[in-house]
Amino acid sequence: MRNKRNELQQIVDERLSSLQWDEWHSRAVLRKISSRPSRARRGLLPRLGVAAAAVAVMGAAVLLALPRMSVPDTVTATQPSETLSFEVVLPTAAPETTVDPWSWQYVTSCMTEVYGYTQEEVDTLFDFAFVWQGETLSATAWVKEHPTWVYSWELDPAGKECLSSDTPFKNGYVYYPGEATVRDGLRAAIDGGWLTRWQREDQTAFLQWLQEWGPTMTSTLQSGLETGGLTAAQAVTEYFRSCFGDESTWTQPTQEWHDEIVTQLPAASENLEEDTASVFSQEALAVYQARQAVKGKYGLTTAALGIPYVTSYTSDDSGWTVTLACDGQLNRRLVGAYTVTSRDGTLEAAWSHDDVDPALWQDGSFNETAWGWPQLQRALGEGREEAARLSNEINQRENTPIATHANGASVWNSTTMVTFPRADDLSPNEAHSFARAALEVYFGAEAALEAYGEEAAEVDAHAINTASVQNDGNAQMVIDGQEVRMWELSFSLEVEGVRCDGVVFVNAQTGLVEAVEYTALGNG
């Protein structure tokens, strides 16, 4: 028994002597262990890299064992090379000399424990090469389908020590969470079907995973998942930005990795729930998607999108374009315009102030450069009077014209009241059911109940309770310039602490919602 214990102690000593200090990974391990219930911590340890686990126990006498692996009897390496430097070692074929089991086990364990691959992926996706550099061994591993995705190590097999290592994806980003975390998040989202279905519960599941285990999220990723304002492809992009920083700093393998995932996702229109897509007309659906894209990319809230915005819509065989602009209650130049395009199912959002240094507006001050989401949020709260006063002064000084709606996307001020519905028109109650479904999409089920439930909130009645109009208290029949007959149903809700007044236009023949329009600043 004493001999067995001595052998075990020798194994432990060898393992500990080969551990490398990884400051980032150590902090991440400590953070994850301390955030989990004590019952769950034991299950986490086998997943940790050996170096990180050693730091996590902070010197406690813990047996650290590498994962049980089968070491091939004929693991080989290329012949020693004194002239080829480690930095330029590229993937090679036909290895010829034997590699010791420790080196093989160290490299493959690093692939699973530090870089987050499964053992099956290591066995099937990678090729390996080993080149002697005097008494050290240079090891490389690369993805067979991506020969430029090369991992590398410099090993001292005699001392059982890793002298250096490198990954094709790390770029020095200060909030880099470690490759295992990056890969774990993508695996959870893909294996869970979140990215392919991309319904609200999938977005919530992704958000919950990120909050518990993921990287430091960009504000766009967090707000987009909270509000449903991102497509699956946009969420992947923001996830990569959270892990690796801005695209301009990504390595080429990182860009290729991102692009490979995005191209495999369903088109944006396929991510929508069938129930959601069936609520709106084609134009209204485009406007809804555009609003969600703006919310996701620029951090605007649902209430902030009711500043209000004037909507224009155009379409052709290749897709559509929606532009959201301020109507003049806040200065149009400062607020700028948001334009969203859809091409081949991919949404791209742009702001007319994208070229402005974010430092000029991120502090929320009402300067005369650009007003982003911080200013809009202030304008809906304690800065409402100041924003209105400044806008009025600038509008008068610049003779700012009042924006007008275009192409029928907005019908709030471009309809004519009809005296009576026709026999084949939907009843007001039927129209209410369709309007309620649209409000659930925009504001949630509770808000829809508040607007149309038995305990209805205050509703606007400024043009509803007219004796000559057949209505049920908050509905009237209108017709637009294209002779489309619609039920106009008014509502008033509190959204994110802000009162939003609006209308839903329901096609009296098809039941499709032609528009949902609302303002958070009142009607002037």
User: What's the CA dihedral at 79, 82, 84, 86 to 10 degrees?
Assistant: 90
Give residue 334's pLDDT.
93
Give residue 275's pLDDT.
58
Taking residue 123's Cβ as centre, other Cβ atoms within 10 Å add up to 12
Pairing of strands 485-495, 475-479: antiparallel
The pair of three-digit structure tokens given for residue 144, joined into one six-digit string: 């067979």
User: For the chain, give me the number of helices (H) and strands (E)?
Assistant: 20, 15
Q: Measuring CA to CA, how many Å separate 301 from each of 304, 327, 365, 374, 377?
A: 5, 18, 18, 10, 8
Give residue 453's pLDDT.
60
CA distance 219 to 297: 9
Nearest in space to 139 (alpha carbons), one of 112, 99, 170: 99
CA distance 339 to 351: 6
Give residue 32's pLDDT.
38
CA distance 132 to 83: 10
Residues contacting 445, CB < 8 A, separation 6+? none
CA distance 444 to 498: 15
CA distance 25 to 355: 36
Query: CA 388, 288, 197, 252 torsion: positive or negative?
Result: negative
pTM of the model: 0.56
Residues contacting 337, CB < 8 A, separation 6+? 323, 324, 325, 326, 351, 352
CA distance 205 to 208: 5
Nearest in space to 448 (alpha carbons), one of 500, 374, 385, 397: 500
* One pLDDT digit (tens) per residue for the chain, 524 residues: 445 445 545 554 554 444 444 444 443 333 333 333 333 322 222 333 333 333 333 332 222 222 323 334 334 444 333 333 333 334 444 344 468 889 999 999 999 999 999 999 999 999 999 998 888 999 999 999 999 999 999 999 999 999 999 999 999 999 999 999 999 999 999 999 999 888 878 888 999 999 998 899 988 888 788 877 788 888 999 999 999 999 899 999 999 999 999 888 876 555 555 556 678 988 898 898 898 888 878 888 888 888 877 788 888 888 999 999 887 789 989 999 999 998 877 788 999 999 999 889 988 999 889 999 899 999 999 999 999 999 999 988 888 765 554 444 455 556 677 767 788 888 888 888 888 888 888 887 777 777 776 443 333 333 333 333 333 446 788 888 778 888 888 888 888 888 888 889 999 999 999 999 888 887 55
The pair of three-digit structure tokens given for residue 71, joined into one six-digit string: 């070491």
The domains of the chain, with CATH numbers, are 2-56 (no CATH), 76-166 (no CATH), 177-266 (no CATH), 267-409 (no CATH), 416-519 (3.10.450)
Nearest in space to 309 (alpha carbons), one of 293, 328, 286, 292: 328
- For residue 348, report the phi and psi dihedrals to the nearest 5 degrees: -130, 125
Q: Tokens 């909270």 appear where?
A: 226
- Please tell me what DSSP assigns to residue 327: -
Which residues lie across from 506 on neighbouring strands? 487, 513
